[in-house]
Amino acid sequence: MSAETLMSPEILQRTLHRLDGPLRWALQEGRTLVTKAGVREGWHVLDVGCGTGYCSLPLAEAVGENGTVTCLDQSLELLGVLEAKARKRGLWPRLRLQRGAAPHLPGRDRAYDAVFCSYLLHELGDDAQRLVAEAHRVLRPHAPLVVADFRRLPDEERCAEINRWYRAQKEDEPGAEEGPNLRFSLDDLETMFVKAGFHVVELTTWLDFHMHGIAWK
């Protein structure tokens, strides 16, 4: 990897604090998603906005030696952290790190057995629908798109309160996303899936203001 850098060391530390806190890993949400989607040995999976590997690492365990996990992220620094973790755990040969920006996805049509997208959609704004459409393009028929994200709540006041709390975490971060974290409701997510051509959709709430969506091509 090149030495090119986008984040200051301070912002990298804060990002790692958010993504890699021990409580978050103890919750094992990434592993739960892998199980829910029925990921199997030998699968070729794409993890969009992989960060430090919350889904990529459990995916690498699930796909085994004959599978691959393509890990897409726009941050070189976070990909570097993921690389170090994967090497330490002996999972590195299964990963294909790729620096790039969604909604464009790497890979030919029908290239993957699953696409994962964990806590990225709310950061993409209008590009969220484009990403879902791209995921449909790169998935083989009957394969799952797996999304985890914050859930916009019917209680607007509470929703605004939670959004303010998240916003305050990033107040002085240049370039941090402007929009609310609780951007999409369960219905919004379903609409995005259906609009992109997915035909079976499973939606569940997770830890109150979070949600999981699996859409099958």
Query: H or E stretch including 77?
Result: helix 76-88
Task: Choose which of 46, 49, 69, 182 interacts with ligand SAM (CB under 6 A).
Answer: 49
DSSP 198: -
Residue 99 CB, nearest approach to ligand SAM (Å)? 8
The candidate with the shortest Cα–Cα distance to 143, out of 117, 110, 186, 120, is 110
Give yes or no for residue 74 binding ligand SAM (CB under 6 A).
yes
Q: Which is nearer to ligand SAM, 38 or 100 (CB)?
A: 100
Rg of the chain taking only CA atoms, in angstroms:
16
For ligand SAM, the binding residue among 123, 173, 190, 202 (CB under 6 A) is 123
b vs e for 17-48, b when ≥16 Cβ sit within 10 Å of the residue's Cβ? eebbeeeeeeeebbbebbeebebeeebbbbbb
When asked if residue 163 is in the footprint of ligand SAM (CB under 6 A), the reply is no
Question: What is d(CA 200, CA 198) in angstroms, rounded to the nearest whole number?
Answer: 6
Q: How far apart are CA 38 and CA 212, in angstroms?
A: 14
**Among 31-39, 51-59, 105-113, 179-187, the segment contacting ligand SAM (CB under 6 A):** 51-59
How many residues would you count in the chain? 217
Of 12, 16, 19, 201, which lies in the binding site for ligand SAM, with binding defined by CB under 6 A?
Answer: 19
Residue 150 in contact with ligand SAM, rule: CB under 6 A: no
Q: Which stretch binds ligand SAM (CB under 6 A): 47-55, 63-71, 157-165, 168-176?
A: 47-55
Contacting residue, 57, 71, 73, 95, with ligand SAM by CB under 6 A = 73
Give the up-direction half-sphere exposure of residue 144: CA atoms within 13 A in the CB hemisphere: 20
x/- mask, ligand SAM, residues 82-111, rule CB under 6 A, reads -------------------xx---------
How far is Cα 15 from Cα 118, in angstroms, rounded to an integer? Answer: 15
Can you tell me the distance from the alpha carbon of 214 to that of 115, in angstroms, rounded to the nearest whole number?
10
**Cβ at position 191, least distance to ligand SAM in Å:** 21
CB neighbourhood size of 185 (10 A): 16
- Name the segment binding ligand SAM (CB under 6 A); options: 68-76, 135-143, 165-173, 184-192: 68-76
Number of residues in contact with ligand SAM under rule CB under 6 A: 17
C-beta of 131 vs 159, nearer to ligand SAM: 131
Residues that bind ligand SAM (CB under 6 A): 19, 49-51, 54-55, 72-75, 78, 101-102, 118-120, 123
